A and B are shown apart, each in its own frame.
Chain A
Amino acid sequence: MYAFDIETPTTIADAVAALKADEAQPLGGGQTLIPTLKARLAAPSKLISLARVADMQGVSVAGDTLRIGGATTHATVASDAAQSYPGLAALAGHIGDPAVRNRGTIGGSIANNDPAACYPAAALASGATIVTDTREIAADDFFVGMFETALAEGEIVTAVSFPIPQAANYQKFVQPASRFSLVGVFVAKYADGVRVAVTGASEGGVFRWTEAEQALSSDFSADALKDLSVSADGMISDLHGTGDYRAHLVKVMTGRAVKAAG
């Protein structure tokens, strides 16, 4: 790693102020950033750890909305959201491995927007709102492309608000070595319709499968998908699976998610 300093502010205001320094970068749980730094793919002058910002911690429910602080670990979401939003808690409980889940955070995952990360699928399928230090961004506008989000320089994800669905499920087909999703599909059913978001598959990062959403909104069953197909255009093709294979998996995993959501 190149040399840098670490600061550990305890308030959002202090974190935002610290991030104004030249080449400063926020540090969530570090489960992606630290390996990136080790590979010398980033050279910040300063890392601003968000782990001790009290207002970015924890899970709370208000009405039909689940709010998760940006610095909340996957392990905490897995346990503390299990009652209010079990589909999301199950997703969090299957990210990485137990030690990774004790460090990795929802804000870090969402801000990084890895094309194979799990949380972006949940946020997009839930129509979540990404709360930052300056504004609120709809998930539909937040995930711009592979590793790209609507966040501005120095802007941090302070919380994510999820409308709680009537039913939801996430199905992940894991790449057996990395255990990242080769294809992951999150299906969420709301009173006003169904949303389906796909991660791992597309070169553009997480996306909504709108044809499936329409079909499932009128008939919430795996059968409703039978006449649909997913184009392999723009699908990731690598040694783990061709674009055609990923496109095929999108439909299969969507069907499984619908069945499991019930």
Chain B
Amino acid sequence: MTKVTMTINGKSVSRDVEGQTLLVSLLREDLHLTGTHVGCDTSQCGACTVHVNGKSVKSCTMFAAEADGAEVKTIEGMANADGSLNVIQQAFQDHHGLQCGFCTPGMVMAATSLLKENPKPTEQEVRVYLEGNICRCTGYHNIVKAIMAASGQDVSAIAAE
């Protein structure tokens, strides 16, 4: 067992973890932060995407021990301080950017990273950036639309079919 300490959504957390404990296991099973989803468990689908030191990572493909000392942010830490949805989350709701919702936490975390790196992406840039986030409902058009809208751009020209 190794003792790890990290800041998760602004709160300091210390736990003893085994070497093979994945970051996502610590988040979900130990800390009950079940908003982060495990889809494929093979680092393909991106449902488990969280931010570690401000960068998107797949929490199913990182060990908890590797996050020792890190700042971790999960979907539970994304809402505004008053509990209302943030701009990106609200845009997903407004533009029907989710169907079953399973991929949504990862999509929101990925979208947040994208808009931080590139505040006004083109539609194509959004689609390329989401390469590692799979929506098995295939609801990509509205996800792209939501992200474009969250960036303050006109989405009327984006095909919805």
Contact = CB atoms under 8 A, between A and B. Distances in A.
Interface of A: 1-6, 8, 27, 30-31, 34-35, 37-38, 46-47, 49, 51, 75, 96-100, 102-103, 179
Given A31-B43, A37-B20, A100 B66 contact: no
Contacts of A4: 19-20
B84 interface: no
B43 A49 contact: no
Nearest to B46: A99
Contacts of A34: 22, 43, 61-63
B156 interface: no
Given A8-B68, A34-B43, A51-B66, A100 B19 contact: no
Contacts of B56: 98-99, 102
B58 interface: yes
A135 to B, nearest CB: 28
11 contacts: A1-B20, A6-B63, A8-B66, A27-B66, A34-B61, A96-B132, A97-B46, A97-B131, A102-B55, A102-B56, A102-B57
A51 B133 CA distance: 25
B142 interface: no
A47 B110 contact: no
A197 B40 CA distance: 33
B46 to A, nearest CB: 6
B113 A98 contact: yes
Which label, helix, strand, loop or mixed, suits the secondary structure of the B interface? mixed
B71 to A, nearest CB: 14
B66 A30 contact: yes
A241 B58 CA distance: 30
B42 A38 contact: yes
A202 B66 CA distance: 35
Contacts of B131: 97-98, 179
Contacts of A31: 43, 61
Interface of B: 2, 18-20, 22, 41-43, 46, 49, 52, 55-58, 61-63, 65-66, 68, 110, 113-114, 129, 131-133
Given A47-B63, A98-B131, A179-B131, 4 more contacts: A34-B22, A49-B63, A99-B58, A103-B57
Contact of A99 (B20, B22, B57, B66): B57
B19 A98 contact: no
Contacts of A51: 66
Nearest to A47: B19
Given A6-B19, A47-B19, A99 B65 contact: no
Nearest to B55: A102
Contacts of A179: 131
A8 B132 contact: no
Nearest to B17: A6
A5 B100 CA distance: 37
B58 A8 contact: no
A68 B12 CA distance: 34
A103 B19 contact: no
Nearest to B63: A6
Contact of A5 (B2, B43, B58, B62): B2
Contacts of B63: 6, 27, 30, 34, 47, 49
A175 to B, nearest CB: 13
Contacts of A38: 41-42
A6 B132 contact: no
B18 A99 contact: no
Contacts of B61: 30-31, 34-35, 100, 103
**3 shortest A-B CB distances, which residue pairs?**
A97-B132, A6-B19, A6-B65
B65 A98 contact: no
A97 B134 CA distance: 11
A190 B80 CA distance: 54
A83 to B, nearest CB: 18
Contact of A100 (B18, B52, B68, B132): B132
